[in-house]
Each structure stands twice: as C-alpha cells, then as structure tokens.
Structure 1
Amino acid sequence: MDSQIQTCYLPKTILDCSSHLLQQEDDLSKLKRLVILHCLEQDNPAVLKTGTAWKTLLNMQDSTFKSHLRLTREQFHLFCNQLRQHGMSDDHSPGGPARIPVEKKVVMLLWYLANQNSFREISDKFDVSQGAAHNVIIEMLDRTCAIAEHYIVWPNDCQKTIQAALFRRSCGIDGIVGAIDGCHFRIQRPPVRGGDYLNRKAYYSVLLQGIVDDLGRFTDIFAGPPGRVHDARMLRLSPFFNTHEQKLGGYKLLGDGAYVCNSFPFIVTPKRDNGALGEDDLRRNAMICSGRVIVEQAFGRLKCKWRRLRELQNSRVDVVVKVIVAACALHNMCIGESESTCDEHPIRCPREEDENE
C-alpha cells in the first residue's frame, strides 16, 4: 500500500486524508475514490470565489459605506436610478448566463475606481469570472461617460454671477468664474506612439485639462492629450477654446504661468517674478495664486477618492480616458453643495506624492 501511494503524485490534502482512511474498513477503496475525484477536478477545476456575499457592502453603516464606495447611500441610489433612466437594466452578463443586478455593477465600478485591484481580484471579490468582470467595468465606464454631461455642466448666466461674487470674496479679483489647469495621470507606455506620452518628469502620462468652480467642481474637462503636450497647446486643442467667448461672456478664468500668452486674454495669470516686481504686482500674484489653488486641490481630491487614477495600468488610451472622465463625473456627484475638502486629507490635498503638474 505504501508503494502505491508513493508512486502517485497526490496533493497534500489527499495524503493527509489517507492516513486517517487507512485505519478504517475498506480503506483502499476510499483512497481510490479520493484519487478519482482529484483526477476529475483536473478536467473540471473548481473556481473558488470569496465574494458571494457582496450585498453586505450595501448594508454597512453610512460612514463605512462611504469609506468603501466613496459615495453616500443617497448618492449611490441616485447614480443607480440615473443609469436606469438611460436604459440600463438587470440583464445577462456579457461573460456568462448569470444575471448581474444594476446595483452590483455599480458597486463593481465604484470598487474598481476607488482601488487598484486587478480584474482577478475583482472577479474573486464579486463572484464573477474575470471576463465578466472586465466586460462589466468597460460597460459601466461607457455608461458613466454617457451621462457625464449631467454632472459636468457649464454654469448659466445666473450661476456665473454667483461664481464671480464667490471668487471675488476668496481672492479679491473681479469677473472670475473658474480656475483652469492641467493634470498628469501616470500610465504604462502605450504600444502606439508611446514616446509622445513621456512627459518632462520622465514618466508616461495622459493629460486632463480641468476648469473648476469655487467648490472644486469640474465645469469643463478635456482628457486624452499625451503627457508631453504643454498646457497652452492642450487648451488650443480643446473644444473649450473654440467656444470660450460664448461660454465666458466677458468673464475670465484664473490660470498659472503656463497660460501667459497673448492668445489667452480670457485667463488672468500672475506676472513672471524676475526679482524686479513691485509690491502691487507681488500682491496681485498672491491673489491669483490664492484663487487658482482650488483647481490643484480638485485634482488632489480626485486622486485621493478614486485611487485608480494614481497609476492607470491600462495600455489602451481610450480606456484610460474613459476612467478619467467617469471619475470626474463621480467627483462632481460627491461634492454636492458644500463639500470642498478631502475626507482623508483635510489639511493638505493633494498629497506630495501625487503628480499633478
């Protein structure tokens, strides 16, 4: 009997069971049965999943719910209802016959954006195949981008008047309705024209141009230019540049030194400090910086809340852009009417290790 066991390459679990079975009647037949079951598993391997109880995420305390999914319970249900209104339903998964509820797909998307888990880990956590996890995330990114215009909205005339008053109170400059800047998002080198995405800080990135209001809500975004593109050139390439006169209507934006150019009279920028600036110029530069810091904080909060943005592993640039746009839309949803600080870093945000420039 010992020689029979030694000549078989059995897993440790079977060998452990064999010592107990040999002490019972008909021990040889029972051991053979275990060997047969093991062989059958090799042809039809069982995939163990730990996420069969994913609904427990929806029954957590409000603070824990928001900590994991980044949205409040009310925002979560609002997002689900918004998706349903635009045609989403509890349909069959693209990767198999199992039905995946809308709520589960939303939780999977939020978990994907809020963490840096692989599709293998998401598959395990939510009890779906890796193919289904990938298909659900891509579907949800597409659907979120499709309704992003409901959350990223340019202010109307009344709102611009209010914005101008709020910026006047915060920085002391009249006629300002927003702040503009660019932000880098680290990616892997794309297979096509990868060198274009190598930025001046020697890593590969995709750019986002964002215009925010006084609370850091995005009122206009333009995502996708390669990392080596200068902020001024990105602005010229953006749809906003062609419509800025109509959108601004005589108001202006706050920007940094990257927009010091005669082509952008609608952006208020600080004067270059060559050591000869007078007190009035220095004071005005400080006022501009205090007003435009809101856009830097918005980028920082975006990366703090949606950690997927800190390093995007997708090599497909189109998917990277969808992730950024979806995160910006959810960022606006989270802010509401009063939230303007980061939950995790209320004193300093962005973090020093977040590369936003």
Structure 2
Amino acid sequence: MAASTKAVLALALSEYKQLLDKYAVILQLYNTVDEEETDMSERIFDVLQPEQRIILKTGTEWLNMDDHTFARNFHVTKPQFQHLLMKLQDNGIDKEHREGLPPVPATKKVLMFLWFMANQNSLREMSDKFDVSQSTAQRIILQALNIMSTMGLSFIFWPNACEKAASAAAFHRLCGLTGVIGAIDGCHFRMQRPPIRGGDYMNCKSFYSVLLQGIVDERGRFINIFAGPPGKVRDARMLRASNFYTTWEEKMGDYTLLADSAYTGQEFPFVISPKLDNGALTEAEELQNSSISRGRVVVEQAFGRMKCKWRRLRDLQNTRIDGVVMIIMAACFLHNMCIDASEICQEHPNGCPRQADENE
C-alpha cells in the first residue's frame, strides 16, 4: 500500500474515532438525564461544537509587562519607548482617523512600529497580534515610517567643536591616530529586483541591494547617513554623490575620517585609508594600516549591531524602493536612540557580525 494511501486511511480512522467518542458522550447524557431537564439539545450542541482556538492578542498591555520582557520583544527599554512616543506624537502620529472606526491609540501605533522593525513578521501576522485589520496595520506602519523619515535631525546630527575634540581623543586612545573623529563605510541591504533599472541594483556579490553610507563616531553612533544608492555603485562614487561630500570642508575642518581602501584617492583628503599591501610596505606603513583597521572597526560593529537589533533590515524582499530607504533610515535613527556602551547583545556578546554583506 502506498504511503499516501496509508496517511489518508490513518486520518479517516482518527476522525471516525473522534465521532465515536462524541457519540458515546451523547449516549451517556441520555442515560443520565433527568426527566425534568429541558436543555438536552444545548448540552448535545456543546459536545458537538468544535474546539475554539484561543489567540492571544497583544497591544498596550505590553506596557504592563516587566522591563526585561518588554525589551526582549520590542528591543527598546520603556524609557526609550516613551521618548520615541513623545517624538512621534509631536510629529502627528495620533492625528490620522478614519470615519466610522475608533482611532488606534498612539501608544499602540508606536508599539506596532517597533514590533515591525524588530521582527520579520508579515503584516497579516501583525494584524492578528495587535488585533487590527491588515490594511490598518499597513497604514500605521507607513504612517510611522513617513514621520520617522522627516525626523533626521532629532536622531542624527554632526558633532560640534567640543564633541569633535572628545571624539578625536577617544579615537587616539583606540587606535593611536590623531585628529580622527569618525569612520566611514558602505553597507548593502538585500531587496528584490526593482521593476525599473533593476540591473543597477545587482551588486558585486551577485544579489540585489540598496546601499547605506554611514559615518559613525567612537561609540558607533551615526553622525551622518546617505541611504538609497543602488547596489552597483561603489563606495567612492557613493561618497561623491552624497550631500556630505559637497560640505566636507565645512564639516571636517582639520579632522579626518577612517576608511578602507575603497576611498583611496586625492579627491578625499579628509579620509585616511590603508595602503595596498603589495609586499613592499615599510614597517611604518604596516603599523599605520593596523592602526586604521583598529579604528574603523567601530563602523563595522555599528552596521552589524543595527542589522542584528532591527531584524526588518534582513527581509526587504517584498518592499518597494522608497519603503526600503525609509526602513533603513528608521533603523539608523532607532540605532542612535538606543546606543549605549553598556548594552550587550544577548546573541553576540563579543559583537554582532555583519552577515557577509561587506561592500568591497
């Protein structure tokens, strides 16, 4: 007998046994019923009624959870959540309302947005978890992303003179180089092939991606970002196309940034990059390369930590380009909001890996 036939017979026998068990219960009810009892039909109906699946919903009751449970699910602490809620409320997260339906509280909207960014659940799963329709879940996420995309200066800003001096001192302690206030690099984010000019998004590692150029300080906090170039673009070209490049003299002054060899060139005098190892490097040049590598590890760690914490960045296959860019920007903002030198990733206590997405 074929395996598929056996499986069908086993299922049929299981269903038949369940019917026999219910029939036995009904017979027992008839044998023990009191003559004056009039609700026999209701009792039989209760027996035949299939078991109802209980689905636990979540929403604002998450705020009643202990701090550890809340942070494990939403990847922010409660004070950080309250700070983000205030920011989004100031920018109109609770103004939208559809006629005929009760408004979704701003607290629940922000919880849904954080859940979206911290997990890879589909909108269908989110609508079930937060007890809203799928269209409402999509509308809330888009509303939050649109608002976040306009709040860059609230989360990412260039350091002032005092902060530059502090960063330079910190990088000197880290790698021994003077005058360094940050590290710059590019990062790929996987996505599906766009319908228009899709070939431009195929990168050197043979997958479709959108790029992020990030400049971070000694803590791994973003001080400048440029998101959206297609994956085919090289790091140097992306830097030349960014707003930062047009104003680098004003921003940098006499300070410098650490970078990899992709930024080598006379056009980037504000960048310190390692010399190519052609087998003839002097001892001083090898020492310089080693110092640059020790210093620029902060940008590698920042990208890895962001992708590890905000897992939506790992699954952008069914998202339009404008949505991808907004999600990347929101993740950078959330990364800065949550930055804390004392915070350690539970999965990667020695540092979050970059998921093999290096931009060569």
Q: How would you bin the TM-score normalised by the shorter chain?
A: 0.7 to 0.9
Deviation at 1:169, TM superposition (A): 1.0
Shift of 1:341: 4.9
The corresponding residue for 1:333 is 337
Please tell me whether the aligned partners of residues 60 and 107 of structure 2 are also in contact (alpha carbons under 8 angstroms): no
% identical aligned pairs: 52
The structure-2 alpha-carbon separation of the partners of 1:76 and 1:271, relative to structure 1 and needing over 3 Å to count, comes to same
Letter in 2 for 1:355: D
Q: Are 1:99 and 2:86 matched, yes or no?
A: no
| 1:147 paired residue number | 151
Separation of aligned partners in 2, 1:247 and 1:325: 21
Counterpart position of 2:347 = 344
Deviates more, 1:162-171 or 1:84-93: 84-93
Match of 1:112 in 2: 116
The equivalent of 1:199 in structure 2 is 203
Contact 2:93–2:144 (CA under 8 A) maintained in structure 1: no
Residue type matched to 2:237 in 1? R
| Cα drift, residue 53 of structure 1 | 4.0
The aligned runs of 1:16-35 (5 Å cut-off) are none
Structure 2 distance, partners of 1:341, 1:292, is 20
1:67 aligns with one of 65, 68, 72: 72
Deviation of 1:117 after TM superposition, in Å, equals: 0.6
Q: In structure 2, what is the equivalent of residue 252 of structure 1? A: 256
Contact 1:310 1:354 in 2 (8 A): no
Tell me what 1:55 maps to. Answer: 60
Equivalent AA in structure 2 for residue 119 of structure 1 = L
1:67 is paired with a residue of what secondary structure? helix
Where do 1:1-357 residues align within 5 Å? 50=55, 52-89=57-94, 91-92=96-97, 97-336=101-340, 338-339=341-342, 341-351=344-354, 353-357=355-359
How far is 1:344 from its partner? Answer: 2.8
Per-residue deviation, 1:152: 0.6
CA distance in 1, matches of 2:358, 2:314: 10
Q: What is the CA RMSD across the aligned residues, in angstroms?
A: 3.0
Q: Distance in 2 between matches of 1:16 and 1:148?
A: 65
Report the 3-state secondary structure (helix = DSSP H, G, I; strand = E; otherwise coil) of the residue aligned with 2:166.
helix
Residue 3 of structure 1 corresponds to: none
**Displacement, 1:339?**
3.9
- Aligned to 1:178, the other structure's residue is in SS state strand
- Per-residue deviation, 1:143: 1.1
Seen in structure 2, the aligned counterparts of structure 1 residues 252 and 59 have a Cα distance that, compared at 3 Å, is same
Q: CA deviation at 1:17?
A: 11
Q: Deviations over 1:282-306 (max 9, x none)?
A: 0010000000010000000000000
Q: C-alpha deviations, 1:247-296, integer Å up to 9, x for none?
A: 11121100000001111111000000001101110001000000001000
Please give the alpha-carbon distance, in whole angstroms, between the structure 1 residues aligned to 2:197 and 2:55: 40
CA distance in 2, matches of 1:349, 1:181: 16
CA distance in 2 between partners of 1:49 and 1:243 (Å): 58
- CA 155–93 in structure 1, closer or farther in 2 if over 3 Å, else same: farther
2: CA distance, partners of 1:80 / 1:339:
23
Amino acid corresponding to residue 174 of structure 2 in structure 1: S
Quote the Cα distance in structure 2 between the aligned partners of 1:264 and 1:341: 35
Alpha-carbon distance in structure 1 between the residues aligned to 2:273 and 2:163: 23
Question: Partner of 1:295: helix, strand, or coil?
Answer: helix
Q: Check 1:294–1:135 CA distance in 2 against 1; reply closer, same or farther (3 A cut).
A: same
1:191·1:315 contact (CA, 8 Å) conserved in 2?
Answer: no
Would the alpha carbon gap of residues 146 and 242 (structure 1) be closer, same or farther in structure 2, given more than 3 Å must change? same
Q: Gaps (5+ residues) in structure 1?
A: 1-11, 35-47
What is the rounded CA distance, in whole Å, between the counterparts of 1:270 and 1:260 in structure 2?
Answer: 8
The 3 A distance-change label for structure 1 pair 354 and 122 is farther
Distance 1:109 1:354, change over 3 A: farther
Check conservation: 1:51, 1:126, Cα contact below 8 A.
no
Instruction: Compute the displacement of 1:16 (Å).
Output: 9.3
Q: Distance in 2 between matches of 1:111 and 1:105?
A: 10
Quickly say closer, same or farther: Cα 1:253–1:93, change in 2 above 3 A: farther
User: Do 1:187 and 1:313's aligned partners in 2 also have CA atoms closer than 8 Å?
Assistant: yes
Alignment-mate amino acid for residue 72 of structure 2:
S
Could you tell me how far apart the structure 1 residues matched to 2:154 and 2:58 are? 32
Distance 1:147 1:184 in 2: 23
Query: Which one-letter code corresponds to 1:189 in the other structure?
Result: R
2:60, 2:111 within 8 Å by CA — same for their partners in 1?
no
Contact 1:299 1:356 survives alignment (8 Å) = no
Q: Residues 274 and 52 of structure 1: is their aligned pair in 2 closer, same or farther, counting only changes over 3 Å?
A: same
The structural deviation recorded for 1:313 is 2.3
C-alpha distance in 2 between matches for 1:17 and 1:53: 36
